[in-house]
Amino acid sequence: MENKFYIKELDSYKKASDKSKKRMGTDPKYDLELLPSEQMQNEIRDFLLDRSKKIGAEKIYTQRRFYHHLCHMLQKQRNKPESFLDWDKTKWIQQMKIWLMKQGLPLTESYKKTNGGKGIVQAKTLLYVEHLIDYLVRLKETDVNEIAKDIWGIEKLDIEVKQDLTRVTKIINFKEIRQPDLKEEIKKAVYGLVKNLRKKIEENPEEPHYIETIRGVGYRFRA
């Protein structure tokens, strides 16, 4: 099964102008199979979905160039990471700089200041990698902190749930489970199962169709 991130499925694409859609071509997408592991493919998909809420579809499209730089760098690595979190940000930037220099690409870019002078910033590829790693680190820290609690705030987890808007469930309560070890195992299982299952069976995990949350009951599989 091919693993692609289709820009056409984003809300921002549907709102884009005809001129913008024309510039993106007939089938704008990211080929996630360029990444060496399924974990990294899932991580970049999460990153792109989050980024699409902040910037327009055309910018997501033009930033494919930085994504391709990242993929080409990884393809040259002898010991490839399984996750973007396997290396710290310093190592990612270091490896990215080495690759850029070997390709004869600049590490910095100049820009014009409002006062007419010139400033220097990192190359956009390096900024892209920084944004990616920062996002995944924040996501992990948020999940770990929330999962450690006995009552989870659904909005604080990176699990998108489809709910009846007239009866919104805001928490998942594990307090009634008395045995500490059993409680921790159940929490890990619930989080991992729902998150990973959605990614495997939902066409769009942001708008789940098959797995929904039922108030006072839990999760339900809908055929």
**Where do the structural domains in the chain lie, given as residue ranges?**
1-148, 150-223
Looking at residue 212, its pLDDT comes to 55
Give the type of residue at 24: M
Helices 124-147, 89-102: inter-axial angle, 10-degree rounding: 160
Whole-structure pTM value: 0.66
Whole-angstrom Cα distance, residue 140 to residue 157? 10
pLDDT in tens, 129-144: 999 999 999 887 776 6
Whole-angstrom Cα distance, residue 152 to residue 53? 24
- Average pLDDT of the residues of the chain: 81
Structure-token pair, residue 44: 């970049």
Please compute the mean of the pLDDT values over residues 183-194 and round it to a whole number: 72
Whole-angstrom Cα distance, residue 170 to residue 151? 10
Nearest to 45 by CA among 196, 157, 210: 196
Looking at residue 112, its pLDDT comes to 84
- Give 131-171 as a DSSP string: HHHHHHHHHHHHHHHHHTSSEEEGGGSS------TTS---E
Nearest to 197 by CA among 212, 181, 182: 212
Looking at residue 165, its pLDDT comes to 47
Report whether pLDDT(171) > 80. no
Looking at residue 114, its pLDDT comes to 83
User: pLDDT confidence of 215, banded at 50, 70, 90?
Assistant: very low
Whole-angstrom Cα distance, residue 203 to residue 206? 9
For the ranges 31-35, 83-87, 182-186, 192-196, which has the lowest average pLDDT? 192-196
Whole-angstrom Cα distance, residue 163 to residue 168? 6
If one compares 97 and 205, the residue with the highest pLDDT of the two is: 97
pLDDT in tens, 20-46: 999 999 999 999 999 999 999 989 998
